[in-house]
Structures are given as structure tokens and as C-alpha cells.
């Protein structure tokens, strides 16, 4: 039975690129996000229901995440990789943006990732699978006035907390920590030569294709031109 790769935030950017690379590597893929039309287009491109399923999921809703994993198991019978990748950023400065944007950022980037772990936990243990989380360079060093950086530090901590929690189950845990990637994450494209989503997808596939005794815990990738 082919292995199964679930991705949140699969409608665009890093998630969509990783879905393409995972499908090329022989995984069946579960594509989750709120934009169902984009997910369906990608699922068709990757071979339709036999190979790829589009599932509407708001990661801030526990019921959506529970149903996402159930749908995965009903359709494909197993879950080998859960990639908690959904997230977004915001303006820097502790008086920038709105308090509501902060709340939504915590719910999506932090609570949403934790719900993905909770929902996928038992199926990952069953498969001796792998959890992959998208943190950030901003999750390793604080950026000035960046509430986004605060949420990504929480994701970095979550990866290590989950690694220790899964220890002795055979489940591996990988944090992906990108610098600037040219995706719809940015309203205007980065001024430097940024990374492409494919550059991150290759790193994810590297981590999940290691032998069972090798747990790649963190991969931090900057564009060559990124100073900090
Ligand atoms: O951005 P983008 P990236 N429920 O905007 C989804 C991190 N990162 O690929 O729901 C479910 O193309 C959204 O889908 P939709 C970043 O923090 C990036 O660059 O349809 N899904 C879309 O598929 C994030 O964690 C950079 O709107 C939700 C996806 O999230 C990850 O990389 C640098 C959702 C966002 O795709 C992917 O971002 C870095 C919700 N409530 C870390 N809210 C960078 N690009 O430079 C959003 O260090 N999504």
C-alpha cells in the first residue's frame, strides 16, 4: 500500500509544492486548506481521487482537523507523514495591525499546528510515521517587533516537545525553518533573490526519505542573499 502524506496549507506556496514533490515520490497526498477550488485543481493535477484528495479544513477548528484525519484513514487506510504547514504573517511592530490579527495568527500558526499533532497522533504512531512542522528562521531568532516571530518560536518549541512526546514510538519529528520564500505569504515579492517553494519541498522530502533510525530534527534554510 502506498504511503500517505497529509499537508495543511496545501492550496498554495510551500504546501502545494511539497504535495507535487510527495506525489512524484510515490505518496498518496491529502491536501488541506480553506480554498477548496485551489485544492481540487491540485488534486486533479496529481491524479484525482486515487492519488490525491482535496479536503476543506480550517486548521483553527478541532472538528475540521479530526474529520481531516478520519477522511484520510477512510480513503487511504493509513497516515505516514503529517505536515503541519498552514500559517501566515503580519506587519511588524507591537502597534501595527490589529489585536484580532494577532489572535488569528496564534490560532492558525500555533493552536492549528497543535491540533494537527493531536488529530494525527494515533495514526502516526500506528504507521511509525513522521510529523513535519513549518516553523521559520523567525522561529529561531526574534525579529524586531514581529508577533509572527513569536508564534514561530512557539512552533519551534512545539516540534521539540512533540519529538520528546513521540520518543520510543518510532515517530520522527522534523522542523522546517525557511528564510524568505517567494510565495503568496508576501503581498509584495521579497527584494532579494528569495527561495522558491520547490527549494523547501526538496528539504521536506529529504527529511522524510531517511532510514527509520534517522530523525532529521531541524532544517534551517536561508536564501544565499538573506543577511539575517
Ligand atoms: O505561504 P502561502 P507559504 N486553515 O500563503 C493556508 C511559513 N513560512 O507557503 O486556507 C487552513 O502560500 C493557506 O490556505 P487557505 C508560513 O508561516 C513562510 O509561504 O486556502 N489553512 C495556504 O495554503 C506558513 O506556516 C515563509 O488560505 C490555512 C497556506 O496556509 C508556511 O510557511 C518563511 C489557514 C499558506 O500558504 C507556508 O507558507 C518562513 C487556516 N486557518 C515560514 N490559514 C515565506 N514564504 O517566506 C492559512 O520562514 N492557511
Residues 101-113: tens digit of each pLDDT = 999 999 999 999 9
Asked if 120 and 79 touch (Cβ cutoff 8 Å), the reply is yes
Q: Which residues contact 88 (CB under 8 A, 6 or more apart)?
A: 105, 108, 109, 185
Round to whole Å and give the CA distance between 119 and 85: 14
pLDDT at 49: 95
pLDDT at 128: 98
pLDDT tens string 164-177: 999 999 999 999 99
Mutate-to-test residue for ligand 1 from 6, 7, 9, 195, highest number of ligand atoms within 8 A of CB: 9
User: Residues with Cβ within 6 A of ligand 1?
Assistant: 8-15, 33-35, 57-60, 85-89, 108, 134, 136-138, 178, 180-181, 183-185
- Which residue owns the Cα nearest ligand 1 atom 4? 58
Among this protein's residues, is 148 annotated catalytic? Answer: yes
Residue 33: CA count within 13 A, CB half-sphere: 24
Between the CA of 59 and the centroid of ligand 1 the distance, in Å, is: 11
- Say how many Å lie between the first and final Cα of the chain, rounded: 44
Residue 145's φ and ψ, nearest 5 degrees, are 65, 15
Distance (angstroms) between ligand 1 centre and the Cα of 4 equals 21
| HSE value, Cβ hemisphere, 13 Å, CA-based, for 162 | 30
pLDDT digits (tens, 9 = 90+) for 10-65: 999 999 999 999 999 999 999 999 999 999 999 999 999 999 999 999 999 999 99
Q: Given this model, what pLDDT does residue 210 score?
A: 98
Alpha-carbon distance of 10 to 42, in angstroms, equals: 9
What pLDDT band is residue 155 in, cutting at 50, 70 and 90?
very high
Pull the grid cell for residue 100.
484580532
What is the average per-residue pLDDT within 68-79?
98
Residues 182-220 pLDDT 10s: 999 999 999 999 999 999 999 999 999 999 999 999 999
- Alpha carbon of 119 to ligand 1 centroid (Å): 19
Phi, psi of 94 (to 5 degrees): -80, 5
CA of 89 to the centre of ligand 1 (A): 8
pLDDT at 23: 98
Amino acid at each position: 500500500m502506498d504511503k500517505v502524506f497529509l499537508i495543511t496549507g496545501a492550496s498554495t506556496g510551500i504546501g502545494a509544492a511539497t504535495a507535487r514533490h510527495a506525489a512524484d515520490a510515490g505518496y498518496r497526498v491529502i491536501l488541506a486548506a480553506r480554498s477548496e477550488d485551489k485544492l481540487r485543481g491540485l488534486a486533479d493535477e496529481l491524479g484525482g481521487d486515487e492519488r490525491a484528495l482535496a479536503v476543506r479544513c480550517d486548521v483553527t477548528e478541532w472538528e475540521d482537523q479530526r474529520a481531516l484525519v478520519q477522511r484520510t484513514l477512510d480513503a487511504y487506510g493509513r497516515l505516514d507523514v503529517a505536515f503541519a504547514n498552514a500559517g501566515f504573517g503580519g506587519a511588524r511592530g507591537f502597534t501595527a495591525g490589529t489585536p484580532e490579527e494577532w489572535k488569528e495568527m496564534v490560532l492558525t500558526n500555533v493552536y492549528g499546528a497543535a491540533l494537527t499533532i493531536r488529530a494525527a497522533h494515533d495514526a502516526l504512531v500506528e504507521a511509525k510515521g513522521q510529523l513535519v512542522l513549518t516553523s521559520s528562521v523567525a522561529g529561531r531568532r526574534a525579529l524586531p517587533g514581529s508577533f509572527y516571530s513569536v508564534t514561530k518560536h512557539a512552533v519551534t518549541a512545539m516540534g521539540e516537545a512533540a519529538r520528546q512526546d513521540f520518543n520510543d514510538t518510532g515517530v520522527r519529528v522534523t522542523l522546517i525553518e525557511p528564510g524568505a520564500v517567494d510565495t503568496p505569504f508576501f503581498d509584495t515579492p521579497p527584494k532579494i533573490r528569495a527561495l522558491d517553494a520547490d527549494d523547501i519541498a526538496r528539504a521536506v522530502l529529504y527529511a522524510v526519505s531517511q532510514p527509520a533510525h534517522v530523525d532529521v530534527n531541524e532544517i534551517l534554510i536561508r536564501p544565499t542573499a538573506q543577511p539575517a
